[in-house]
Structure 1
Amino acid sequence: MTASSLFSLVFLLLIISLFSAALASTHGLNDQSLIQQVVSSDGHDHDILMSAYHQFSSFKKEYNKTYLTQEEDDYRFGVFMSNLLQARRNQNLDPTAIHGVTKFSDLTPSEFCRKYLRLDGQIQLPKHLKTLPILPTDNLPTAFDWRDDDAVTGVKDQGSCGACWAFASIATVETAHFLANDKLVDMSEQQLIDCSHECTDDKVVCNRGCKGGKHILAYSYMLKVGGVEAAKDYPYTGIDTDSCKFDENKIVASIYDFNNIVADEDQYAANLVEYGTVAVRINGSMMQTYTGGIACPPCSDNFNHEVTLVGYGSDRHWIIKNSWGTDFGENGYYMLCKGKLTCGKNPEAIIPFANMTKATY
């Protein structure tokens, strides 16, 4: 880097820092960890020195973003500029991934968490929840992906409804049902959002539709009511309603049990290969900037997102089905390096088991 370009970079970051401080004072924007724009992984400063307004205009066009007033547009531009502060930091913390402008780049971290990571913290596990026996791991496939067997439905989009818990549980049941019945059926997350209000044994945490929930409680609900409808019969709206429209006569899939997996990633892999896709909890905060590659973020005890393991790569990185649409990450998927699923306190990995059914589709 030349002396002149280094000076330009420092000057730009100084201007952005001052602008961010003013923005925080004006709008009460107190977030310290802000998302970044596209940056060069090799340390060159070309991208970061591009016109911020040009990047913002391109962002709005690509993601079809419009704002009701010029004041709101100006505010979002300020947020977008503020996100440059985190550019190098996220890339340096997570160099094997690619971090950049995403459809979430006009959101502050608190807005992003509120809309997409609505998940309560640690819960008391159900008393009846059993842990699966230890499986041998010596002869696991080098790489494995349930998508290769057409056992995984397409990536879905929860929108701004904080119901990742419903999407993770439905995704695993879809695969479990496929393995039991040789039929891949797109099932209804909206049924869970509208109808599943189960709580933990201590009543501290409950499923609350778009306001958050737990996949463990979703499985309990499916056991209680007998199953789940197809998405075509109970379509997704992405909003909370006061009405549960569940029709037991339209059940297309059911489970007879769901079990925990011992907190060991080799066991996660063995159970994934043996029994099907696995619902897990992760920290999704840095996913706001993720555009591709294999993410390897710092460990965290703050599990705020639920997702589905569908496979792993030859280096045992996890292939994760997310629920933010195909315009997130790698065509809707998130690649996570080995070791990050069990490095926090009290990790969870749950797998359901489906009944054979005579339902028509």
Structure 2
Amino acid sequence: MVASSLFSLLFLLLIISLFSTALTSMHGLNDHSLIQQVVSYDGHDDLLTSAYHQFSAFKEKYNKTYLTQEEDDYRFGVFMSNLRQARRNQILDPTAIHGVTKFSDLTPSEFRSQYLRFDGQTQLPKHLKTAPILPTNNLPPTFDWRDDGAVTGVKFQGYECNACWAFISIATLETAHFVANGQLVDMSEQQLLDCSDECTYDKRICNRGCQGGNHVLAYRYMLNVGGVEATKDYPYTGIDGSCKFDKNKIVASIYEFNDIIADEDQYAANLVEYGTIAVEVNGDALQTYTGGILCPPCVDTYNHGVTLVGYGSDRHWIIKNSFGTNFGENGYYRLCKGRLTCGKNPVAAFPLSA
């Protein structure tokens, strides 16, 4: 049995090696330098040996197990493919660091379907206000709401629960409540998953729990029902459940929510003036991101919702994500200026808390 599994692995490595040789011949890349530059491992020099050691270390680090040897072999092939994608991303995006992440055994389509299904470009509710134009000439050179203690810890939306829309809605409300009341309260995303079924007027987009949703619709729900409960009273499960909302346990409410014109200088001004901001991004490059300032090519597709908490001296954005603390830079990532308004009609919005 062991010999059979070993033979199967060696055969797979041979096929991958032949495929790699053909691929690199076409593109002028060297897979040895590819692996070593992107994700070196204890000085191993042989590509396949190094990759297999990295795959073993990856499984141990992220507690990955597969039901069969065939599945293990398949995921190793996916892992190898993602190493090459990390190298391509590194070439295109040298200010970031790309390599092995907890998503490295997922195909790009699996990553999108499990983590990035976000309903963006929604038809805005009629009563959504557009924030007034703010002056931008006297903004501080750097800004970060975490320095004021206005941001809760990074959370994890869960495996195969596309709840980023709920996390950015709650994250912005948590900061808005802090600004209004001086108290930082960890609030319930699960309430939104279970209870918010708001839809656009044409019914084209609705909040559908773990199947996706939109932060603007979540704001409208919170406004209509009066607010949200604390996480301690309505804890997160990461699966859709029946609504258990109790109005008597509301800890925060909103009286208004605002859209911001598609201008990143206005994003910065509103961030400083009012609080954290919910924005739409393309999250494809996050699959291989491990640190640095992400600066992917501009694309006209939004598939993920994140929270702006600050900006750096060169106006790169400091972003809170909902992939847990073992993603990126302790759950955060940095994004270069100009990547929040790539597509059509981006929606950047924030609530005001009572």
- TM-score w.r.t. the length of structure 2 is 0.88
Partner residue, 1:40: 37
- The residue that corresponds to 2:183 in the other structure is 183
Residue number in structure 1 paired with 2:209: 209
Partner of 1:97: 96
Deviation at 1:348, TM superposition (A): 1.3
Distance in 1 separating the partners of 2:346 and 2:239: 29
Give the match for residue 228 of structure 1. Answer: 228
Q: Which moved more, 1:256-265 or 1:113-122?
A: 113-122
Go from structure 1 to structure 2 and tell me whether the alpha carbon gap of 1:69 and 1:42 turns closer, same or farther (over 3 Å shift): closer
Deviation of residue 84 (structure 1)?
Answer: 2.9
* SS at structure 2 position matched to 1:286: helix
Q: Secondary structure at the match of 1:252?
A: strand
1:65 matched to 2:64:
yes
Alignment of 1:136-151 (within 5 A): 136-151=135-150
Counting aligned pairs with the same residue, the percent is 76
**Aligned partners of 2:349 and 2:312: how far apart in 1?**
20
The amino acid of 1:264's aligned partner reads D
Q: Tell me which protein shows more helix as a share of its residues.
A: 2
Alignment RMSD (CA, Å): 2.2
Question: Which letter maps to 2:229?
Answer: E
8 Å Cα contact 1:40-1:47 kept in structure 2 = no
* Structure 1, unpaired ranges of 5+: 1-10, 21-36, 356-361
- The aligned counterpart of 1:304 is 303
Aligned length: 327
Q: Secondary structure at the match of 2:286?
A: helix
Q: How far apart, in 2, do the equivalents of 1:166 and 1:266 lie? A: 26
Partner Cα distance (2:169, 2:74) in 1: 37
Question: Partner amino acid for 2:329?
Answer: E
Partner SS for 2:310? strand
Take 2:164 and 2:140, find their aligned partners in 1: how far apart are those partners?
A: 29
| Secondary structure in structure 2 of the residue aligned to 1:293 | strand
Letter in 2 for 1:184: L
Change in CA separation of 1:86 and 1:337 when aligned onto 2, cut-off 3 Å: same
SS of corresponding position for 1:148 = helix
Q: Decide whether the 8 Å contact of 1:261 with 1:348 is kept in 2.
A: yes
State the partner residue of 1:86: 85
* Contact 1:98-1:293 at 8 Å conserved across structures: yes
Following the alignment from structure 1 to structure 2, what is the Cα–Cα distance between the partners of residues 38 and 325?
Answer: 26
Does 2:133 match 1:134?
A: yes
SS in 2 for 1:179: helix
**Cα deviation, residue 74, structure 1:** 1.4
Q: Where does the alignment leave 5 or more consecutive residues of structure 2 unmatched?
A: 1-13, 24-33
Question: Residue 118 of structure 1 corresponds to which residue in structure 2?
Answer: 117
The separation in 2 between residues aligned to 1:252 and 1:224, in whole angstroms, is 15
1:260 matched to 2:263? The reply is no
Q: Report what 1:28 is aligned to.
A: none
Greater CA deviation, 46-55 or 136-145? 46-55
Amino acid across the alignment from 1:65: K
**Contact 2:83 2:99 (C-alpha < 8 Å) held by counterparts:** no
Equivalents in 2 of 1:19, 1:58: separation in Å? 27
The answer on 1:352 being equivalent to 2:351 is yes
2:9 alignment partner in structure 1:
none
Residue 247 (structure 1) aligns with: 246
Q: Give CA-to-partner distance per residue, 1:36-80, whole Å, 9 cap, x none.
A: x8652699x977835221110010011111112222111111111
Moved more, 65-74 or 246-255: 65-74
**CA shift in 2, pair 1:284/1:48, >3 Å:** farther
For residues 217-238 of structure 1, give each alpha carbon's deviation from its aligned partner in whole angstroms, at most 9, with x where no partner exists: 0000000110000000000000
Alpha-carbon spacing, 1:58–1:42, altered in 2? closer, same or farther (3 Å): closer
